[in-house]
């Protein structure tokens, strides 16, 4: 059995450390760089999504509350608001992931709300429940996304 001198062992270990650094270094650098680039973009997406959902639900709430007392002008204001709701719904469709369960659930509720506004709100309590449901699902989506950004799980 061959015997190794300490200088040979040190040289071998130095070579092993260098080889490991050459292989592991770029991988670690890539992961860190990806996280530093994607996290701010994802945070911006979360902020935009929060704004979009807030605007959509606020407009729906306005129709619910003001429409009952006849304050809204049915010919002009409602058409403007409904057009805005359609735009916001389409933007939501483009911002959400059609492969994630909660995103699909939110889109379904939003579609039901828009349809109900278009055809007339039947039961105000049910409509209010849909608005509340959309808010709750949105909160869960935003929380999940925030946790992903915070943990660096991109």
Q: Kindly give, in sequence order, each residue whose CB lies less than 8 Å from that of residue 152, ignoring residues fewer than 6 positions away.
A: 35, 39
**20-59 pLDDT per residue, tens:** 888 877 777 667 666 667 678 888 989 999 999 999 999 8
pLDDT of residue 73: 47
DSSP-assigned letter for residue 152:
T
pLDDT of residue 30: 66
- For the chain, which residues score pLDDT lower than 70? 1-4, 29-30, 32-36, 38, 67-77, 121-122, 153-154
DSSP-assigned letter for residue 33:
H
Whole-Å CA distances, 90 to 56, 86, 140, 146: 11, 6, 21, 23
pLDDT of residue 81: 79
To 5 degrees, how large is the angle CA 9–CA 13–CA 18?
A: 150
Nearest to 93 by CA among 79, 101, 85, 104: 104
Whole-structure pTM value: 0.70
pLDDT of residue 2: 65
pLDDT of residue 50: 95
pLDDT of residue 69: 52
Q: Kindly give, in sequence order, each residue whose CB lies less than 8 Å from that of residue 112, ignoring residues fewer than 6 positions away.
A: 130
pLDDT of residue 75: 53
Nearest to 96 by CA among 137, 58, 49, 55: 49
- For residues 81 and 63, the answer to whether their CB atoms sit within 8 Å is yes
DSSP output for 46-103: HHHHHHHHHHHHHHHHHHHHHHHTT-S-TTTHHHHHHHHHHHHHHHHHHHS-TTSHHH
């Amino acid at each position: 059995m061959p015997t190794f001198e300490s200088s040979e062992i040190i040289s071998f270990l130095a070579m092993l450390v260098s080889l490991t650094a050459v292989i592991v270094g770029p991988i670690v650098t890539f992961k860190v760089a990806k996280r530093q680039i994607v996290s701010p973009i994802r945070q911006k997406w979360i902020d935009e999504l929060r704004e979009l959902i807030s605007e959509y639900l606020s407009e729906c709430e306005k129709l619910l509350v003001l429409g009952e007392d006849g304050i809204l002008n049915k010919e002009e204001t409602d058409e403007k608001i409904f057009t805005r709701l359609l735009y916001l719904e389409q933007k939501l469709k483009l911002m959400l992931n059609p492969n994630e369960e909660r995103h699909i659930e939110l889109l379904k509720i939003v579609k039901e709300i828009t349809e109900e506004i278009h055809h007339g709100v039947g039961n105000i309590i049910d409509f209010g429940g849909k608005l509340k449901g959309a808010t709750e699902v949105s909160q869960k989506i935003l929380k999940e996304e925030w946790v992903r950004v915070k943990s660096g799980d991109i």
